[in-house]
Structure 1
């Protein structure tokens, strides 16, 4: 069992919090207010960033002390939205939100994962008719192993998890968000995930 703080109480954060609690973890959910987020992060071993990516960097840098030596699991994508509210472009096109977080928070172990799928698939990967892929990006092997174990608790199988390497690889998975608006326009808001076929 781990003490986990989920920052963000929308569909993504709520879904993850419910599933991790069901898996036996001690989970606290904090909204975006600085006081609630600081209290939750301070008490946790693992912090999940489920806040909207456009404002995540500022919110999390404000929690520098609370995040020191913690594992920060980043599941967000930083995008500019188009007129229809769907992602239209990347905020960090030559980088990624995860890289920006790791650079700004050098004493925090940032791991990027679960950002290449609809939120419902994060906690129910077996519901898809074909095996999805969850990617891991991060500098610290122990932190990535801890996150891998969380994914297993969420229903991911070992063979569905791919470690891409260091945090710089997160720019590849974050760029996958640009598929999303086209998928939604062509087939509606149905569960989906990026899948690597081998």
Structure 2
């Protein structure tokens, strides 16, 4: 069992909280007040960033002390949205939200994952007709192993998890968000994920 704090209480955060509690973890989802987030982050072994990506760096950067030596699982995408509210570009072209977080939080072990799929697939990967892929990016091998264990506990087959390498590889997975508006316009909000076929 891990003590986990999830920052963000929308569809992504609440879905992960339910799945992780079902898997036996102690999960806290604090309200949006800075004090509540800081207290919950300080008490956690693992913090999951499920906040809207455009504001994640500012919000988490203020928690440098609370996140020291903590695993930070970043599942968000930082995008510039178009008039229809769907992603139209990357907020950090040539970089990634995960890299920006790692730079701002040098003593935190950042791991990027679960950002290449519709939110419902994060906690129910087996519902798709083809196996999806959960990518891992991060500089700390032990932290990635811990995150992979969390994923298997909520339904991810270990064979569906691919370690891409260091945090710089998050540039690739975050760029996949640019597929999303086109897929949604083409097929609607049916569950989907980026997958590596082998």
TM-score using structure 1 length: 0.99
Q: Report deviation, 1:154.
A: 1.0
Secondary structure of 1:193's aligned partner: coil
Match of 1:165? 165
Distance in structure 2 (CA, Å) of the matches to 1:92 and 1:33: 26
Describe the superposition over 1:91-138 as per-residue Cα deviations: whole angstroms up to 9, x where unpaired: 001000000000110000000000000010000000000000000000
Name the Cα RMSD after superposition. Answer: 0.5
Q: Report deviation, 1:23.
A: 0.3
Match of 1:156? 156
TM-score using structure 2 length: 0.99
Conserved? CA contact 1:32–1:51, under 8 Å: no
Match of 2:127? 127
Conserved? CA contact 1:2–1:26, under 8 Å: yes
User: Within the alignment, does 1:7 sit opposite 2:44 as a pair?
Assistant: no
Q: What is the aligned residue count?
A: 198
Match of 1:184? 184
User: Within the alignment, does 1:147 sit opposite 2:147 as a pair?
Assistant: yes
Q: Report deviation, 1:33.
A: 2.1
Matches within 5 A, 1:1-198: 1-198=1-198
Distance in structure 2 (CA, Å) of the matches to 1:114 and 1:96: 14
Distance in structure 2 (CA, Å) of the matches to 1:17 and 1:140: 24
Q: Report deviation, 1:30.
A: 1.8
Unaligned runs of 5+ in 1: none
Secondary structure of 1:111's aligned partner: strand
Distance in structure 2 (CA, Å) of the matches to 1:43 and 1:5: 8
Secondary structure of 2:136's aligned partner: strand
